[in-house]
Chain A
Amino acid sequence: MTTALLGSRRGVIVAVLLAAAGVLLPWIVYPVLAIDIVAFALFAVAFDLLLGFTGLLSFGHAMFWGGAGYVSTILLAKAHAPFPVAVLAALVYATLLALIVGAIAIRRQGIYFAMITLALAQLQYFFAYQLEQFTGGENGVQVSSRGNLFGIGLDNDKGFYYAVLIVTALGVWLVVRVVRSPFGAVLNAMRENEQRAIALGFRVDRYKLIAFVISGTLAGLAGVLFAVGNRLSGLDGVDWHTSGTVVMMSILGGIGTVFGPIVGAAIFESLDHFLPTVHLSFFGLVIEVGDKTNIVMGAIFALCVLLFRRGIVGELLAARAKRAKP
């Protein structure tokens, strides 16, 4: 399914279309929302490296996203660190965290893996909540200036968006490379049949850990882009609902398709942003979506799990495969 899209001529076309959409995005929606969409897209792709390609459901990925976001904004706001230093430190944090969490979590499988990652993410959440002098508690950390990179100021939202877009493109490219490498083939083999992969002599724990670290680090990178883009990191970044959000994005778009999670993230973020402003009226009956956004999203996701588990891109690919082989 994956290889059907990646590397094919259509795959290239899709990538080009996505890139074009990415370039045009800040002219369609306001730039900070565009940053959110792209950052979440990278987050979802990173997450999908685990769920779609390795078969591990992490329900604690917000810990890398929010944790790295905290590190970068705290360094920028409180230590007045230069931008590259803040980003690097945040990435180091995400990598180390992923190493530790991964080493613990891969000891169990399936639903337990999900529970352990969730529990460990909550551990970090409580620390973030308690260490108010660093994280600002409920108020979060605000950044007045993003600083500058190579002497170029980053405070222009549109300009920063394009930096985010480039970084995200590189991140997605990295995931594609990983998935298509021999290493990715081993991950796939583990997902399909772990016992057989062990029997073939692969040290599955090591492969899982490496996949987890790559995924966690990229999620951290996405979190940095999001936090610095919004000049704010708060508790909702490390909250378990955020972990759930990235799961929903990936599944809605289609796991194991690389492009699916990007589509899922775009749809999800746009819905999240525009639904609260929607007023529907049927024959004089006015329905304000307003604060019912979560209900609508939850319902969409529930239907997605019940009816089309392959996700949007997954279903499209399946439909095409059916047509090709009648």
Chain B
Amino acid sequence: MRYRLVVLALAAVAAWVLPYGLSLYAIHVVDVAIVFAILAIGMGLVMGIAGQINLAQVAFFGVGAYMTAVLTTHVGMGFWTAAVLSVIGTAVVGLLVGTPALRMQSHYLGIVTLGLAVAFVSWATNSPLAGGASGISGIPAPTLFGLDLSSEYLFYYFELIVFACALAFGMFIVRMPLGRRMRAMRDDALAAGAVGAEVRSLRMAAFALASVYGGLAGVLYAGLIRYVAPETFSIANMFLLLAMVIIGGRHSLVGCVVGALGLSLLREALVDVSTYAQLAYGAVVALTVVFAPNGLAGLPGRVRSAWGRRRPDKAAVLGDFQPYEPASPDVVGGPDRDDWILDVRGVGKRFRGLIALQDVSFQVRAGEIRGIVGPNGSGKTTLFNVISGLYKPSSGQVIFAGKPATGRPPHQLAHAGMARTFQNLRLFHLMSVRENVLVGLDRSRIRSIWRYLLWPIGVFRDDREMHRAGDELLARFGLVDFAPAAPRSLPYGTQRRVEIARAMAGRPRLLLLDEPAAGLNGEEVRQLGEIVRSIRASGVTVIIIEHNMGLVMSMCERITVLASGSVIAEGTPAEVSRTPEVIEAYLGDAEVNDNFSAEDELPPATVLDATP
């Protein structure tokens, strides 16, 4: 921490004395580089942090610059009024350009935003309002508190302050709950929704942020150059900006800034051989994505891990699970109580021709541990996806805690008290174990986003509170030693436990576990049973899909058996294991195997009940 403060102070002093050693031309180059750095922060936020492939960032830059130009020259506004309106206007454009992100992602979003960027350049080149190909000149020089900012040296200091604020605000967002939810959404949008992140709103927030940074850069550019023309906002410059962010390291805002400053200055140094420079940075981009996907910002981490491998510190151990405080009996409920927490009524789900679920009905009492078993492909996970809001059922409805859950998005259900794990582990793999749990703890909503701008102290306090609760949770699940680790570096069984901890972080009333014992060894399965029983004892209802019959039979009060998308049996473990349909579903069709009668030759209990 102290080391960082020293570096920061040195950087500030260096930035402050820099102009004294620079010629008029050099300070101009630096001024332009800072504009690109601000633009790159916005790009890093939307692409590196929120995972939205936005190739219209240079158009946001253009909208900001052109709006300032039009408002000052055509409308005759003062520079600062125009500047504020331009940033607001760019944010509106950003939200519009971001709407496709609600429906598509990845390369689809890339091509749509790139197309819109092309459309913007085309508009600017043709519109009389924008001055056509020759652009708009004669933007008045801004003055601030009587200082004439037409001096590029003074403008440098003004820019420096804006840049420092922009970077600090960006880094604040990245480290606080909002940025954490955005990173979670980037790593796995489905899982982020399931732990309560409002994925759609977060995507829009990311575009809004990116466009505000773009607009800010545009305003500064207009004030600095006092002339705008279409070629500044061309696709070639969009790709240059992309190169800055990729080479610098898209997951780190400081990396983005380093990339932007470095490439801007290099471009200026190589201006005589610009085509070869273009060749070189294109090649570096192609090689970066393959060999150093985290860019320059990822290098220190690589060096450190190469260093660390040589002198291994003490091995991290998975601690014991500390059981929850059992809740009082009237909260816990149990199999003999009559209030349903989950009521599935005649749910059907079809994917085009395929019927995955057909008229599935069952009810789960509060405080129960319910097992759902069935052969592979019988629709168990589809059922979970319907209950947790990932799929909309084709027919029927789901009632959760007395309220209809059908058609509500996953994050709303998460806020209402539902949590789940996934069959194929969906941890946020670029975030640490601690951050994974913190995302689960995070109950803040997008509507309180204003606090980031107006009441950052409150955000900071909330975050500290979350960290405290997170550490408590990590200790309970015995994960303290793994808190800073990347999930993928952990043993499989530990990853499973992290996922359960993340689900429990939201203090759910209903926990859905999808094959939590898959891939666990005997001891880990025993620990899992202990964890699930303790979770139930604390008053949480648990529904568990599992193939490990020993675990299911020993732990669940009631079992629902699915086969080919329908419920074929329900009851206590003993009842279910005697049902002929269940035996048939597990052993095959009775008519085919008519040589032996299942009931005579193989007592069902020994088939299904593997408990010792």
* A and B part of one assembly: no
Binding site for B on A (CB under 8 A): none
Binding site for A on B (CB under 8 A): none
